[in-house]
């Protein structure tokens, strides 16, 4: 991958930082393209002189995408939203990226979708992800589509969010406690993206479900987090009938969940039976236990010092 130019659409986000690192380590040049490039400047020290570029892009404005991908050997679309303009970002935006990549003659396009992407989904999010995949396939048939489950990492808004809630309250209510997830480590997803770019002919036109080795329910995840950060709390599993009422009020300020997110939780977020995953890229999935406790320690009562005290006491 030496000297290949890879444009990361939305590269300054949570997953983008891992992808940028994976590519830079392999000798690629990386162009970070996002709405405000100044928010991604923190990535510059990760590469050598001239190895990292920055450019402004808005996926709802195709002309900015066309400019951003010019001269690229590969393009990765990392842009996604959990609420708001699903059609504009997940469908029209994804189509614009794929069309621009095709017009620019890039060797490889990697599109990040999500497990649960389905044009027939009950949730607008799932439908938009499914429609986006179809739009990408129509414009760039050789694209590699990756569907990760919940992606976790040191800067995520998933484990950190729930750990923060547990650290602040003795009672933690959990919605859809039975819903299953297959959390996947951000660095593993990044390595899969790098592999798809390095040997595009091996993955062209394929779709992969990326999940970690742990399949865990929302309730069990919260209990694991409480144990990991040393918090003695009561995990209260909210009945679905009550959860649905709460979700119906999701339009209100401060609501814990939207109705569309509730709809998403009705289906387990795990890899489909028989689907190819990380193993197809030669990657051994990283368990939660192997890495997450290292950063979750900050949610312990005395942070790292708390763990040290417990060790000495034992």
Give me the phi and psi of 172, to 5 degrees please: -120, 110
For 25-42, write each residue's pLDDT tens digit. 999 999 999 999 888 888
**Residue appearing with tokens 């708001």:** 84
- How far apart are the C-alpha atoms of 157 and 166, rounded to whole Å? 14
Judge whether residue 144 has pLDDT over 80: yes
- How far apart are the C-alpha atoms of 187 and 21, rounded to whole Å? 9
Q: Is residue 198 part of a domain?
A: yes
Could you tell me the pTM of the whole model? 0.92
Could you give the number of structural domains in the chain?
Answer: 1
Q: Is residue 143 part of a domain?
A: yes
For 170-214, write each residue's pLDDT tens digit. 999 999 999 999 999 999 999 999 999 999 999 999 999 999 999
307, 301 contact by CB (below 8 A):
no
Judge whether residue 10 has pLDDT over 50: yes
For 301-311, write each residue's pLDDT tens digit. 876 655 554 54
pLDDT recorded at residue 37: 87
pLDDT recorded at residue 253: 65
- How far apart are the C-alpha atoms of 250 and 27, rounded to whole Å? 45
User: Which CATH number do you get for residue 137?
Assistant: 3.40.50.720
Tell me how far CA of residue 180 lies from CA of 271, 272, 277, in angstroms: 11, 13, 18
Find the domain containing 197 and state its range.
Answer: 5-152+183-210
**Residue appearing with tokens 């050789």:** 142
With CA atoms as reference, report the closest residue to 67 among 103, 26, 120: 103
Q: Is residue 287 part of a domain?
A: no
With CA atoms as reference, report the closest residue to 257 among 161, 120, 186: 161
Q: Is residue 217 part of a domain?
A: no
Number of helices (H), then strands (E), belonging to the chain: the values are: 13, 13
Judge whether residue 254 has pLDDT over 80: no
Q: Is residue 122 part of a domain?
A: yes
Q: Is residue 235 part of a domain?
A: no
């Amino acid at each position: 991958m030496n000297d290949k130019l890879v444009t990361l659409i939305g590269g300054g986000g949570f997953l983008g930082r891992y992808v940028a690192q994976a590519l830079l380590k392999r000798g690629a040049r990386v162009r970070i393209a996002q709405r405000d490039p100044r928010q991604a400047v923190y990535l510059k020290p990760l590469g050598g002189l001239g190895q990292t570029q920055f450019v402004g892009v808005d996926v709802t404005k195709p002309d900015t995408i066309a400019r951003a991908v010019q001269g690229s050997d590969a393009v990765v679309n990392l842009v996604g939203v959990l609420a708001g303009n699903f059609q504009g970002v997940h469908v029209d935006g994804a189509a614009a990226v794929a069309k621009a990549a095709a017009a620019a003659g890039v060797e490889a396009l990697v599109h990040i979708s999500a497990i649960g992407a389905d044009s027939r989904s009950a949730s607008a999010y799932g439908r938009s992800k499914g429609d986006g995949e179809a739009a990408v396939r129509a414009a760039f048939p050789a694209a590699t589509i990756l569907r990760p489950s919940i992606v976790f990492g040191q800067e995520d808004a998933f484990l950190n969010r729930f750990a923060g809630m547990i650290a602040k309250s003795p009672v933690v209510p959990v919605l859809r406690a039975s819903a299953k997830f297959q959390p996947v480590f951000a660095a593993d997803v990044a390595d899969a993206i790098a592999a798809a770019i390095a040997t595009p002919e091996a993955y062209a036109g394929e779709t992969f479900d990326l999940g970690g080795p742990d399949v865990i329910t929302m309730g069990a995840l919260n209990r694991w987090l409480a144990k990991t950060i040393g918090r003695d709390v009561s995990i209260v599993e909210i009945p679905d009938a009550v959860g649905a009422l709460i979700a119906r009020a999701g339009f209100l300020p401060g609501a814990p969940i939207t109705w569309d997110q509730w709809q998403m939780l009705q289906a387990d977020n795990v890899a489909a039976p028989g689907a190819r995953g990380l193993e197809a890229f030669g990657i051994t999935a990283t368990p939660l236990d192997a890495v997450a406790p290292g950063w979750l320690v900050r949610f312990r009562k005395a942070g790292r010092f708390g763990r040290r005290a417990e060790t000495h006491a034992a």
